[in-house]
Amino acid sequence: MYQARYSDFHQIDSSEQLRLSEILGAFSYALDLTEGQPAGHSIRACWIGTQIAMALGMKGDALRDVYYAVLLKDLGCSSNAARVSKMFVGDDRKLKHEFKLLGPQPEDFGAFIGSAVGVDADPETRDQALANLVENAGEIMTDIMATRCSRGADIARQLRFSDDVAQAIAHLDEHWDGGGLPLGIAGSDIHLGGRIALLAQIADVFYTARGKDAALAEIRNRSGSWLDPELCMLFGKLSDSIGFWEELALDDLPEQLWALEPADQYIAVDEDYLDDISFAFGRVIDAKSPYTAGHSERVGMIADKIAEKLGMDDHRRRVLRRAATLHDVGKLGVSSAILEKPDKLDAEEWQVMQSHAVHTTDILGQIGVMSDMAMIAGSHHERLDGKGYPLGLDERSIAMESRIITVADIYDALTTDRPYRSAMTSGKAMSILHDELDVAVDRQCYSALQELVEQGQVT
């Protein structure tokens, strides 16, 4: 079994060059999970969008802004997941997937409501949801889109991108004819990056679900209504090129996309920038549920303070804090219907919930500079007695960093409101942790946390 050692942790050398595209491209798989899209959707859309931008003659910063706007177009997608699940009474990931396959006409949305809302709910709940949507559909959809677009733009800025990238993400759901949301702006008032991103999104969604002919038909059908007609014409020409669709299906498309990153291909990604990236995606994670607002940041902070008490050096603590902040990135692949359920999860739901730890390991494991903390973050539900998940590790193979995250995670979860109970006091939380000593909770980590609570450094 693997147990992390201090020497395993990668430290960036001042002469080392890192691809920002590769780091954020790996995180884009988490966004695909949240939107219920096949893995690699954001990367394929980015490749399509970049081809369009280059055909338009875009270069340098302008091309780079489109590249990242399309790759990260779904940064705000987790922020409306809980509301989608509640309003439509179902699995938000499935609902979002089906929603993106709707036709462009208002009646298509009406048919979607009739067929998708509350399919697994009792008749009374379904009827109430349908009535609410019929009466308030415009207001509900505007709010849902506004939350997604504004949050995505804010996180793009936190990731140090330009206002052009942020604005393009904010305009993703606007339509050429003014019928989009949330602003209802039209034509060239919509940021060019947003226009390209929407076209690329539609092209890939229909291509992966129904094939290239369906993708081309949807682009034609939405030209002049949803989509910029000039961009649609350009896309038609590009898609006729030999190898366009074949290249989109290649296994090494991600590597080809990284090579397309324009301007300064190797942007300076230092330790501070990695912190910003971790904290930004911590916000994406926490937006998935109203009950987890600030959870990732707090777990990162608590873990860092415990590590300091235990005498860890600065770099080891820094890596740990990133891992702790990102420990729940895999929950982006869990439906809000499960995350928000006030009752006990059934066996199938519990299996889905447990899968988030595997997703966390997989996502972080794709990022070269963060791969050393993938196992650390993904092991926060392992137990010293070997009865945890996903691997059933025991005290012989669980790293100290994972033990710290476990204690920090449990403590913060216990002291905040959850769908199934109210927040506990610090004393009650510490009592529960004490009962798990040497079973699920490491004794040294517990003692360090106890000191922090008594000193008022952790509340």
Give the SS3 label for residue 86: helix
Query: What's the distance, Cα to Cα, between the start and end of the chain in Å?
Result: 35
Number of H helices, E strands in the chain: 22, 0
408 contacts 324 by C-beta, under 8 angstroms:
yes
129 contacts 117 by C-beta, under 8 angstroms:
yes
438: amino acid identity, one letter:
D
CB 5: neighbour CB atoms within 10 A? 9
Active site residue 387: no
Give the SS3 label for residue 412: helix
Q: What is the 3-state secondary structure (H, E, C) of 253-291?
A: HHHHHHHHCCCCCCCCCCHHHHHHHHHHHHHHHHCCCHH
Angle at which helices 20-35 and 347-365 cross, to 10°: 170
Q: Which of 73, 96, 309, 331 is catalytic?
A: 331
Task: Kindly provide the b/e burial profile for residues 170-200, where b requires at least 16 CB atoms within 10 angstroms of the residue's own CB.
Answer: bbbbbbbeeebbbbebeeeebbbbbbbbbbb
Q: How far is CA 222 from the centre of its chain?
A: 28
Kindly give, in sequence order, each residue whose CB lies less than 8 Å from that of residue 49, ignoring residues fewer than 6 positions away. 66, 67, 69, 70, 196, 197, 199, 200
Residue 246's Cβ-side half-sphere holds a number of Cα atoms within 13 Å equal to: 4
Question: Which residues are part of the catalytic machinery?
Answer: 331
